[in-house]
Amino acid sequence: MSKRKWLTVGIAAVSVMTLAACSNGKSSSESGAGKHVAMSATYSGPGKATTAGNNSTLKVAEVNDAPFAGISSPTLGTNAEDTDVFAPGGSGNLFNVTKNYKIVNGGLANQKIDRKAKTVTITLRKDAKWSNGAKVTAKDVEYPYEIIGNKNTTSQQYSSDFAAIKGMAAYHSGKSKTISGITFPDGQNGRTAVIHFSRMAPSMKYAGNSFIWQTVEPYEYFKGIPISKLASSSKVRKNPIFTGPYKLDKIVQGESTSWSPNKYYYGKKPQIKHITIQVVSTNNALAAFKSKKYDFVAGGPNSVMPSSQYPKFKKLSDYGIAGTPSMGYDYFGFNVGHMDTKTGRNVMDKNAKMANKNLRLAMMYAANVNAVEQKFGNGVSWQANTLIPPAFKDVYDAKNPGFKYNMKKAKSLLDKAGYKKKGKWRTDPNGKKLVIHLGAMQSSAATEAEYQYYMQQWHKAGLDVQMTTGKPMEMNSFYSTLQKPKQTAIDVYLAAWSLSSEPTPTQIYGVDATFNMGHFATKKNTELINSLNSSKAWNAKYRAQQYKKWQRYMNSQAAYAPESFSLAWSPVNKRVKGYSVAPTNNEFWSNLSLTAASPK
C-alpha cells in the first residue's frame, strides 16, 4: 500500500524515525505472516562514474500525495516526508552503526556506556562543524533534550524513557530551567557531554533508542528563539544548517529541496555536485520514472512506494530495483480516549465509541486484510501479524497468528457484546444508533480502493462505517486531527509508522507518548513496555520473550492492530553507482556517483 508514515521515535542510520503516508525480485522467501519478493539492498549501474555525471544533478523523487511540512529539525519534525527531503544534510546524526544498528565509533560522535556509573558519554570528533562553518559543541548535543522536554515545545518525541535522565522530569514539568543530569566536563563549547541516568537500558547500545537522542541541534544558531516558536522560525524552515555531506541551497516550500556539497563536512567527500528532491504523487510516479525524470525514490530503508505498481516499475528497462525489509508497518488505530494536557498522560474513556474491545476485535476479523494484500501486494507488501515488523528478527513474533479473516467470529463477537442488528445496521449496546467514522489519507487509486473494501467488509458485519469528511483526507489535515488531545471526528483510522532502528515502542504506545494518538493506556501495557528495558532485559533471551508477550497482548486488545508489512524499495536508474540501503552504509549520499549527465 502507500500510506505515508508518521515520524516515530529517534533515528535510523540513514533517516530519522517518523509518521508515514503507506535487484529485481528473485526467489520468494517466507517471513512470518507472508511470502515476499527477495531483493538486494544495493544497486550499482554499469560503467564508470564520469566527471560530466558527477557535475550534473541527481534527481530524487519524494513519492507523496501531499506537500511536505518543511520542518528541517529532526527533533521537531514528525513526518517521514520532512526527513526524506532534508536527508542529504545528514539529519544531525551522531553515530555510525553496524548491520544490526549497534552504535560504533567513527561518526560525528562516539558513545561510551558505563552501566556501573549509570552514565553515557558522548564525545564529538575534533573536526565536527555545521554547514555554516561553526563548531559543533557539547551544548549542541544537549540542546535537543531541552527542545524535547520543554513543556511548551511543539516536539512530539517526549516519553517516560527520557525521564530516566536525571533532572529531566523536573525540567519537563517546569520546576527546573535546566536538565541537571547532562553535564559538560570541558564546558558547553567543548566536545564532551555526559548524560547521567537513574537506570540503564540495553537499548542504549543501538541507534534509535528511546533514552538517548541521536542528533544534534545548533544551539548558537537557534539561541534567542523561544522553543515554542522554533518549528515556525526561518532558521528551521527557510535557512537551516546541517552537519552532513550536503548543504541546502534552495527550498520551495512543500515541493522541493536543492543541495550542493558541504565543504565543512567531516566525512567522505560527496562526489555528486547537485541534488534535487521533488514531491511527486503516487498516481504520477510511474509516468515520471518512465520519462526518466528521477534517479530513485527518497526514504532509503523507509521508502514508501505503492505495492500495486511494483510489477510495472520492475519492467522499466533503464532501472534496477533495490530494497530491504521495511522497519515500518501499516496499522489500524482506534480512538479509545484522550490526552490529559495537565498530566501529559493518555487516558482511556470507558464511554468512548470504540472502548469495547470486542467491537475492535470484530472489525479486525471482518477486515480480510489478506484479500487486500493478495490483490495489491505483489510480493512487496503482505498481511502483518503483529506491531513489530520482521526486520527486527530477534524480537519479532513470527508464530503469532495475527487477525486471520473470520466473518463468523466477527459477527459472534458483536452479538455477544450487545451490538444488535436493527434493520441493516447494528446499534450500540444501549440500543442507540451507531455510526463509526473512518479516517484515511488521500493516496493511490489502489490504496483508496482498499479503504472502500474495508468499509464494505464492515458493512457486511452490520456496522455503519463512513469516512470522516466523506472522503480520504489530505495527509497534514489527517494528522492534525488525530494529534489533538481530544477528538471525536475519527473513530478508526489507517496509518503507518516508520520505526526507529531500535523498536522499543515507548514513544509510540507509551502512556505519556504524544504519538499514542488513539490514547490506549493500560497498566499491563506500561508494565510490558517497561520490561523491555528493565535490568533483566540485558539478557537477550528474556528481552525477546517480553517483546513477544507485548505483541500478543496488543493483539488481544486491538486498540492498535497490524495491517501490512512491506519491503522498502526503489527503482534506481542505471546511471547511478553506489546505491545501498544496507544499515552499514553510513555514507549513503557520499557513496553515490553518476555515469552520465542525465538519467539513462
Cα distance between residue 583 and residue 581, in whole Å: 6
Tens place of pLDDT for every residue, the chain, 600 residues? 333 344 333 223 222 334 554 422 222 333 344 678 999 999 999 999 999 999 999 999 999 988 999 999 999 998 889 999 999 999 999 999 998 899 999 999 999 999 999 999 999 999 999 999 999 999 999 999 999 999 999 998 998 899 999 999 999 999 999 999 999 999 999 999 999 999 999 999 999 999 999 999 999 999 999 999 999 999 999 999 999 999 999 999 999 999 999 999 999 999 999 999 999 999 999 999 999 999 999 998 888 898 989 999 999 999 999 999 998 899 999 999 999 999 999 999 999 999 999 999 999 999 999 999 999 999 999 999 999 999 899 999 999 999 999 999 999 999 999 999 999 999 999 999 999 999 999 988 888 999 999 999 999 999 999 999 999 999 889 999 999 999 999 999 999 998 888 999 999 999 999 999 999 999 999 999 999 999 999 999 999 999 999 999 999 999 999 999 999 999 999 999 999 999 899 999 999 999 999 999
> Which residue has 530516566 as its cell numbers?
164
Alpha carbons 534 and 243: distance in angstroms, whole number = 34
Amino acid 25: pLDDT: 29
211 and 355 in a single domain? The answer is no
Under DSSP, the state recorded for 269 is: P
CA distance 408 to 194: 58
Strand boundaries in 341-400, DSSP class E: 345-348, 381-383
pLDDT at 498: 83
Q: How many Cβ atoms are within 10 Å of 460's Cβ, its own excluded?
A: 13
Q: Which residues pair with 426 in a beta bridge?
A: 421
Based on the fold, state whether residues 497 and 353 are members of the same structural domain.
Answer: yes
What count of other Cβ atoms lies within 10 Å of the Cβ of residue 340? 15
CB atoms within 10 A of CB 317: 6
Does some domain include residue 528?
yes
Tell me the C-alpha distance between 132 and 130, whole Å. 5
| Whole-angstrom distance, CA of residue 519 vs CA of residue 560 | 10
Structural domain boundaries, residue 477:
326-567
In the prediction, which pLDDT does 531 show?
A: 97
Q: Are strands 319-325 and 560-573 parallel, antiparallel or unpaired?
A: antiparallel
CATH code, domain with 489? 3.10.105.10
**Residue 9: its pLDDT value, please?**
32
> What's the number of CA atoms in the CB half-sphere (13 Å) around residue 163?
14
Same domain as 195, residue 338: no
DSSP readout, 537-569? GGSHHHHHHHHHHHHHHHHHH-SEEEEEEEEEE
Same domain, 332 and 218: no
C-alpha cell at 21: 503516508
Final residue belonging to a domain, choices 222, 251, 283: 222
Cβ proximity of 20 and 328 under 8 Å: yes
Q: Is 568 exposed, middle or buried (0-12, 13-18, 19+ CB in 10 A)?
A: buried
Q: Are residues 340 and 211 in the same domain?
A: no
Note whether residue 497 is domain-resident.
yes
CA distance to 1, 245, 262, 593, per residue, from 53 (Å):
34, 18, 19, 8
Output the pLDDT for position 19: 55
Q: What is the CA radius of gyration of the chain?
A: 23
Q: What is the dihedral of CA 351, 352, 355, 358, to 10 degrees?
A: 90
Give me the sign of the Cα torsion angle 199, 205, 211, 216.
positive
The C-alpha atoms of residue 328 and residue 584 are separated, in whole angstroms, by 19
Identify the domain boundary among 174, 191, 222: 222
Residue 136 gets which letter from DSSP?
A: P
Coil, strand or helix at 223: coil
Cell numbers linked to 79 = 513526518
Exposed/middle/buried for residue 452 (C-beta within 10 Å: 0-12, 13-18, 19+): exposed
Closest C-alpha to 40, from 594, 600, 568, 564: 568
Cα 200 from Cα 534, distance rounded (Å) = 8
Please say which residue of 205, 222, 239 terminates a domain. Answer: 222
| pLDDT at site 20 | 54
- The sheet that has 274-280: what strands, in order across it? 246-252, 256-261, 274-280, 57-63, 296-297
pLDDT at 79: 84
Exposure b/e, 218-243, CB count within 10 A at least 16 = b: bbbbbeeeebeebbebebbbeebbbb
φ and ψ at 19, to 5 degrees? Answer: -80, 145
Is-contact 196 186, C-beta < 8 A?
no
From its phi and psi, is residue 131 left (phi > 0), alpha (psi between -120 and 50) or beta? alpha
- What's the one-letter identity of residue 231? A
- Looking at 52-167, which runs of residues are DSSP E strands? 57-63, 96-97, 103-104, 109-114, 119-124
Tell me the residue type at 474. E
The structural domain count of the chain equals: 2
The reported pLDDT for the residue numbered 232 is 97
Size of the chain, expressed as the number of residues it contains: 600
- pTM higher than the cut 0.85: yes
pLDDT tens-place string over residues 490-501: 999 999 998 888
Assess if residue 460 is contained within a domain.
yes
Kind of pairing, strands 464-467 and 435-439?
parallel
Same domain, 356 and 215: no
The H or E element containing residue 278 is: strand 274-280
Please tell me whether residues 551 and 404 are part of one structural domain.
yes
- Give the H/E segment covering residue 221: helix 219-222
Query: In this structure, what CATH number is given to the domain that contains residue 112?
Result: 3.90.76.10
Indicate whether 408 belongs to any domain. yes
In one-letter notation, the amino acid at residue 337 is G
What does the pLDDT look like over 393-442, one tens digit per residue?
999 999 999 999 999 999 999 999 999 999 999 999 999 999 999 999 99
Strands (E), 155-273: 182-183, 192-196, 246-252, 256-261
